[in-house]
Chain A
Amino acid sequence: MARGALKRILLVEDDPDIQTVAELALSAIGGFTVEVCGSGRDALDRAPGFHPDLVLLDVMMPGMDGPTALKALRQLPETSKTPVVFMTARAQPHEVAQYKQLGSLDVITKPFEPAELAATLRRIWDRYEE
């Protein structure tokens, strides 16, 4: 199962401002290579070429929402096993449980602390690797 260190993150988020800060937090603080997508559809188009180690996926997006995008990513051969972490402002314990049931590895709550975002993803990744 060991895949090595977490390096490439596909960030899927419709809000341009959150895109900016999350990308900065992940690249400048975390040192990850980040590809930013503005919608679920966009993610499906770009994920196969980008080969992400992990997908950070917003839950509420217009058009194709996070859960639908997750199902669609599972259908693509390149991303059928790529771990997905949801990012959402709605993260009550029962909602988190629902997201995990859908196949999300973990859930990051918005608003997030930018300085901790990368470290949180690394912790999630390490747990997944184990």
Chain B
Amino acid sequence: MKTTLEELTARYSRALQSYLEMGGEDALHQAYQVGRDALARDLGVLEVAALHQEALVSTLLQMLAPTESSRIAKKASEFFAETLAPFEMTHRGFQEANAILSDLNDELRRRVEVILRDYKVAQDQIDQHKKMERMKDEFISLVSHELRTPLTSIHASLGLLSSGLTTGLPEKARQLLEVAHRNSQRLVRLIGDVLDLQKIESGTMPFELRPVEIGPFLEQAIEANEAYGAQFGVSFVLNGVPPRIGIKADPDRLMQVITNLLSNAAKFSPSYRTVLVAAQRNAGVVRVTVTDRGPGIPEEFRARIFQRFAQADSSTTREKGGTGLGLNISKAIVERMGGHIGFETEVGVGTTFYVELPLTEQSPNGARA
């Protein structure tokens, strides 16, 4: 019985939709046939009316033409009347049908109104949400850029003082200057990271994917970060890259990611140890690895490591000078380039962070790394 009703509803819906879109005798004939089948299966007018109502509501929703609802409902009533024709011929339920049609129209109007109201509320919420997101993005962008102007003079003044331009400062004053300079550097990085995050989230960070030959690229990354590593007594060593393999990436963004991994490795490595950088080709991807001999990542922290402001120990930010945003940004960048970032770690032994990016078909001859 259930199957019969479902099958009739499906046939009725298809025919009703066709009638509402194109009109025509064929669709009306189908309505008549549905009516006959309903009668033959001993369905009452009430059940046929319910079937009509379901079909009409779903059709209105599908057509998403709420403003047209009364015209559509009127046309659908003509169609429904055809379905009821077989019932009229038997004189069964004729008066009942009229009463039901009237109730049905009221009920239908009520249901459509509820649906429209819900639809409008949902639309308003989406619009409001989008507006808030846009305002938030504009606010962050504006504040960050505005912050940079005073920060430029503070940072540069402290930098000039710390660089030994003014000699004869008492030891205590020089220490305090260094504290101020180091912290202004942190603020500079933090603002840069917040701006990057905002750009990634609002989709305004531009990505230009092109073939990048990984060997020269990693050499360049190591060279650019050598001075930073030296601050921690750490050197970066390129340890095995297959020749002439290319990946598809935005070189500026990839440099940002590798720089982040190298600086993390330097911060967490014991002094006078090397950080190994390598690349392997593996089933359609190139895996770049950065391996340190640091303390390893504690078990309880592993799941949160790519979250914002996630650091295993809050004193890390203070001691190592990180912003707590680097890995979160790196993950977003790698994923936007169609890649994957992850790590393997063992407490007391060290950590390897890896980035996997799609291999390019051909070696990027002469491509800028």
Contacts and interface: CB of A to CB of B under 8 A. Distances in A.
A15 B165 CA distance: 22
B153 A24 contact: no
- By Cβ-Cβ distance, the 7 closest A-B pairs, closest first, are A17-B153, A21-B156, A89-B148, A111-B152, A114-B159, A115-B163, A114-B156
Interface in A80-130: 89-90, 92-94, 110-115
Interface in A55-95: 89-90, 92-94
B165 A94 contact: no
A112 B158 CA distance: 12
Contacts, number: 62
Main SS of chain B's interface residues?
helix
B137 to A, nearest CB: 14
Contacts of B163: 29, 114-115
A11 interface: no
Given A94-B206, A115-B163, A21 B145 contact: no
A90 B145 contact: yes
Contacts of A111: 148, 151-152, 155-156, 188
B160 interface: yes
B357 to A, nearest CB: 18
A21 B160 contact: yes
B152 A89 contact: yes
Given A28-B165, A29-B165, A111-B188, A89 B159 contact: no
A25 interface: yes
B157 interface: yes
Contacts of A112: 152, 156
Interface-centre pick from B149, B199, B206, B208 (highest chain A CB count, 10 A): B149
Which interface class (under 10, 10 to 19, 20 to 34, 35 or more) fits A?
20 to 34
Contacts of B205: 92
B252 A24 contact: no
A28 B155 CA distance: 17
Interface string A9-32: 000000101101110110011000
Contacts of A15: 149, 152-153
B: contact size bracket: 20 to 34
B149 A18 contact: yes
A53 B307 CA distance: 48
Interface in B230-277: 252
Contacts of A94: 206
B149 A93 contact: no
Interface in B143-200: 145, 148-153, 155-157, 159-160, 163, 165, 188, 199
Contacts of A114: 156-157, 159-160, 163
Contacts of B152: 15, 18, 21, 89, 110-112
Contacts of A89: 145, 148-149, 152
A20 B153 contact: yes
Contacts of A18: 149, 152-153, 156
A90 B152 CA distance: 13
Contacts of B206: 92-94
B263 to A, nearest CB: 16
A98 B252 CA distance: 16
Given A24-B165, A89-B145, A115 B151 contact: no
B160 A25 contact: yes
A110 B148 contact: yes
Contacts of B159: 25, 113-115
A54 B250 CA distance: 31
A24 B149 contact: no
Given A92-B206, A93-B206, A94-B206, A21 B157 contact: yes
15 contacts: A15-B149, A15-B152, A15-B153, A17-B150, A18-B153, A24-B160, A25-B160, A28-B160, A92-B205, A94-B206, A110-B148, A111-B156, A112-B156, A113-B159, A114-B157
A92 B160 CA distance: 26
Contacts of B155: 111, 113
A21 B153 contact: yes
Nearest to A89: B148
Contact of A22 (B156, B199, B252): B156
Contacts of A20: 153, 157
Contacts of B157: 17, 20-21, 114
